[in-house]
Amino acid sequence: MTTCYDLFRMVVVGPDSARPHGDGASGETTPGDVVFLQSQQALLEQTAAGAPLAEVLAGIVRLVESRSSEMVCSILLLDRTAQVVRHGAAPSLPETFTRAIDGAAIGPEAGSCGAAAYRGEVVEVDDIATHPYWRDWRELALKHDLRACWSTPILSAERDVLGTFAMYYREPRGPRPDERRWVAAATHLAGIAIQAERARQIESALRRSEAELRAIFEHAVIGMALIGLDGRYLRVNPALCRILGYDADELVAIGPVRITDPQDLQRNAQLAFELMTGVRASFQLEKRYVRKDGASVWARLSASLAHDEATAEPLFVVAMVEDISAQKRLEGEVLRSQRLDGLSRMANGIAHDFNNVLTAIQGSVSSARDELPAEHPALEAVAEIERAASRATELVRRILAFSPDAEPQRALQPLAPIVREALRLLGAKLPATVTVREALDQDAWVLADATQLQQIVLNLAGNAIQAMPQGGVLGVRVAVVEVSEGDAGALVGPGSWARLTIEDTGIGIADDHLDEVFEPFFTTRAPGQGAGLGLAIVRQIAEAHHGVVHVRSELAHGSAFEVWLPAARPPARGVGEVAIAVEPATHASGVPVDPGTLPVLVVDDEPLIGRLAKRELERVGFRAEVHDDPERALASFTASPDGFSAIVTDASMPRLSGFELARAVRALRPGIPIVVISGGLWNRESLEEIGVSELLLKPDALRELAVTVRRLLAG
């Protein structure tokens, strides 16, 4: 009759060949066998409880060694990657021996254990002193009084070699049947222990891997989702919830289709179909999602299909969603800026050409007026033409002030007229529901670029109007404020300041946004209603003028922006022009000459302006040599650098600009006076570096030309 104990022995200990039987002759179970089986059960329980592998293997070795005092045993583990054996357990072997064979390479004749691991079969060496397998290890073994070694591979359930179990004896001999059964039981136990440890390691690695993947998924800064083959979300991460404004349960319930912008739905569906049908392995798409609050958000969607490793069947789609709304806004602003820059340059070119026309008109009208008798009836018409030309001149100068090439022109000027002109320009945008209240101190003077200050007013007033959709009051004030050393909480340092205040009675700004309003691209407006650059530009201009900007606001009660600029002392009143004493011109040699002796070189690619300049100069006694080709003019000057009294040149000309011509002339004759006529504004320091003596602005340049040349020649 088969008892439960027999079943335990069959399952745990293994087949009959692995069962220990006293001397192996009678087949009867001895008390020692029972102890042996109980010890095996204890080792199996240790393994199941997760005891350290080294502890279990040492217990197996001691269990076998307990059967005979004549033998010592060891377990070596196979390192498949390095193809070497590693120390597992050998409590009774000398440490010097175990340390020496730890890491030994396996091979067909690499000792008993190395050969057993290599061959996957039992290797029994009856005499180490004579066996060829021990050629490389013989001296070490004999030194430790080891003469016989039988090594058995430890196998997995799949018959893969996991290590070896070795029995050493101190005299040459072969194994008995009962010793073979002990080894069979030991390798069976060791195989279970090693596989259990490896399973625990794999399980632990999987848990770590799962934890790492979960952490990546949960804490990623970009949106991530797993999408089922039915097109619904299986799982979404917090970043995706933040991007789309839904919580995870809501997204899983509604799915990706309902939150995709209808304009992108067809393209998205086509790519998803190609992914599911194997046409493509992955795809990337820039698309728009509709947030829970109804706002549209641009995102870059990257999707790939995950497959089962064993069956290659598709499992789900891995989707990554990156919010690129800010990038799209920036791209839009760059495109808008490029368009504006193109328009600005086109307008600048038109303005320059128009300036030439105005210069010719004013020059011709001025000449006609001078030729007409005092009571001539045409003088009134001439005066009207001049007034119209003057208004056109002012418009052209406004256009040129916004040229991308124009440099800031800071001049001492009152702030009130600048503000008033900006408000006049804003008039077309001013709704009837908005009332403007001005309080402009006429004594507030600044050293500033008028165009840039007008930009501040336009930006701040434009924002104020936007903040009052139902109408309200737009307050604009200019005042001079004296700040002393003891002023507590002053926004600026001590001194005299010109303060520009623009306030509204609109919706106001939340406290948590007050620190962000001056950041580039920050805006509370809906997409397409503003880029968030206006206030950043205001702060940039104010700081460039050594000023500061401050904002006060309260929700539902409006906002007030203060721009503080260093105040300047106004010029003394009633000071007239100082007459310039005109002395005779002097040649380069230092000899006084008549202005008419040496010609003035006039260079302008507009022949009419060249002729008018020649006429203006000749009216006061100068001679002029006129060229409409700057290269030919330079050649003429190069041929005779001392043959001209002064140079008059247009700034913008093809092939060679007036400034390039000035540099070339200065290199040949450093002291010659050079007058540049321009339709645009230029920084005076830059002109002095080039060598320009005087800059005359069109279209008034011809009126001032003769006087300017005479003054320069007079030194």
Domain 4-201 identical in fold to domain 220-323: yes
Q: Which residues pair with 688 in a beta bridge?
A: none
Q: Class for domain 4-201, per CATH?
A: alpha beta
Share of the chain above pLDDT 90, in %: 43
b/e burial code for range 673-702 (CB count within 10 A of at least 16 → b): bbbbbbbbbbeeeebeebbbbbbbbbbbbb
| CA nearest neighbour of 78 among 52, 49, 117 | 117
Angle at 613 between CA 611 and CA 616, to 5 degrees: 110
Model confidence at 333: pLDDT above 80: no
The H or E element containing residue 162 is: strand 161-169
For residue 223, the tally of other CB atoms under 10 A from its CB is 23
Work out whether the CA dihedral 367, 370, 375, 381 comes out positive or negative: positive
Sheet holding 282-290, edge to edge: 233-236, 223-227, 314-323, 296-307, 282-290
Angle at 571 between CA 455 and CA 540, to 5 degrees: 25
pLDDT digits (tens, 9 = 90+) for 544-597: 889 999 999 988 889 999 999 999 988 765 433 333 333 344 433 343 445 457
- What's the Cα-to-Cα distance from 634 to each of 59, 439, 627, 660, 705, rounded to whole Å? 105, 55, 9, 10, 21
Q: Looking at this protein, which amino acid is placed at residue 504?
A: D
For residue 197, the tally of other CB atoms under 10 A from its CB is 19
| CA nearest neighbour of 298 among 285, 308, 314, 310 | 285
b/e burial code for range 140-151 (CB count within 10 A of at least 16 → b): bbeeeebbbbbb
Which residue, chain included where needed, has tokens 């903040």?
Answer: 467
**Per-residue pLDDT at 402:** 55
Share of the chain above pLDDT 70, in %: 84
Q: Looking at this protein, which amino acid is placed at residue 667?
A: A
- Where helices occur in 220-300 by DSSP H, the ranges are 238-244, 248-254, 262-276
378: region left, alpha or beta (phi > 0 left; psi from -120 to 50 alpha): alpha
Which range among 31-35, 219-223, 255-259 shows the weakest confidence by mean pLDDT? 31-35
More reliable by pLDDT, 73 or 19: 73
According to DSSP, residue 506 is labeled: S
Report how far residue 134's alpha carbon sits from residue 172's, in angstroms, rounded to the nearest whole number. 14
Domain 410-568 has CATH 3.60.15.10: no
Which range among 89-98, 371-380, 561-570, 632-641 shows the weakest confidence by mean pLDDT? 371-380
pLDDT digits (tens, 9 = 90+) for 218-236: 888 899 999 998 889 999 9
Q: 545: exposed, middle or buried (C-beta count within 10 Å: 0-12, 13-18, 19+)? A: buried
Q: Are the CB atoms for 581 and 567 separated by under 8 Å?
A: no
Q: Looking at this protein, which amino acid is placed at residue 459?
A: N
Task: Compute the half-sphere exposure of residue 139: CA atoms within 13 Å on the CB side of its CA.
Answer: 2
Q: What phi and psi, each to the nearest 5 degrees, are found at residue 25? A: -95, -50
Q: Looking at this protein, which amino acid is placed at residue 224?
A: M
Provide CB contacts within 8 A for 522, sequence distance 6+.
Answer: 513, 516, 532
* SS3 assignment, position 631: helix
b/e burial code for range 390-404 (CB count within 10 A of at least 16 → b): eebbeebbebbbebe
Q: Are the CB atoms for 76 and 164 separated by under 8 Å?
A: yes
Model confidence at 523: pLDDT above 80: no
Report how far residue 486's alpha carbon sits from residue 480's, in angstroms, rounded to the nearest whole number. 18
Model confidence at 125: pLDDT above 80: yes
Q: Are the CB atoms for 586 and 593 separated by under 8 Å?
A: yes
The H or E element containing residue 347 is: helix 325-371
Report how far residue 653's alpha carbon sits from residue 607's, in angstroms, rounded to the nearest whole number. 12
* SS3 assignment, position 470: coil
Domain residue extents for the chain: 4-201, 220-323, 329-401, 410-568, 585-713
Tell me which of 3.30.70.260, 3.40.1190.20, 1.10.150.570, 3.30.450.20 is the CATH number of domain 220-323: 3.30.450.20
> Is beta strand 674-678 parallel, antiparallel or unpaired with respect to 71-79?
unpaired
CATH fold, domain 585-713, is Rossmann fold (3.40.50)
Provide CB contacts within 8 A for 38, sequence distance 6+.
Answer: none
Model confidence at 237: pLDDT above 50: yes
- What's the Cα-to-Cα distance from 120 to each of 102, 156, 191, 632, rounded to whole Å? 19, 11, 14, 99
Domain 329-401 has CATH 1.10.287.130: yes
End-to-end CA distance of the chain: 137
Q: What is the pTM of this model?
A: 0.43
Work out whether the CA dihedral 561, 567, 573, 578 comes out positive or negative: negative
Q: Confidence band (pLDDT; 50, 70, 90) for 96?
A: very high
Q: Looking at this protein, which amino acid is placed at residue 163?
A: G
- What's the Cα-to-Cα distance from 325 to each of 267, 289, 307, 598, 662, rounded to whole Å? 19, 11, 32, 67, 50
The radius of gyration of the chain's CA atoms, rounded to the nearest angstrom, is 49
* SS3 assignment, position 344: helix
Q: Confidence band (pLDDT; 50, 70, 90) for 654?
A: confident
**Per-residue pLDDT at 277:** 85
Question: How many angstroms from the chain centroid is the CA of residue 553?
Answer: 32
Q: Confidence band (pLDDT; 50, 70, 90) for 714?
A: confident
As a whole number, mean pLDDT of residues 113-136 equals 94
Which residue, chain included where needed, has tokens 């645009």?
Answer: 680
pLDDT digits (tens, 9 = 90+) for 631-649: 999 999 999 999 999 999 9
**Per-residue pLDDT at 363:** 75
Report how far residue 176's alpha carbon sits from residue 516's, in angstroms, rounded to the nearest whole number. 89
Which residue, chain included where needed, has tokens 């009207």?
Answer: 384
Q: Are the CB atoms for 594 and 620 separated by under 8 Å?
A: no
Q: Evaluate the omega torsion of the peptide bond into residue 52 and state whether it is cis, within 30 degrees of 0.
A: no
Complete DSSP assignment for 398-421: HHHHT-TTPPP-EEEEEHHHHHHH
Structure tokens belonging to residue 662: 């000035």
Structure tokens belonging to residue 569: 């002392």
**Per-residue pLDDT at 233:** 92
Q: Are the CB atoms for 634 and 649 separated by under 8 Å?
A: no
Which range among 37-51, 155-169, 210-224, 339-353 shows the weakest confidence by mean pLDDT? 339-353
**Per-residue pLDDT at 539:** 87
Provide CB contacts within 8 A for 80, sequence distance 6+.
Answer: none
Angle at 684 between CA 678 and CA 690, to 5 degrees: 80
Structure tokens belonging to residue 213: 């993947």
501: region left, alpha or beta (phi > 0 left; psi from -120 to 50 alpha): beta
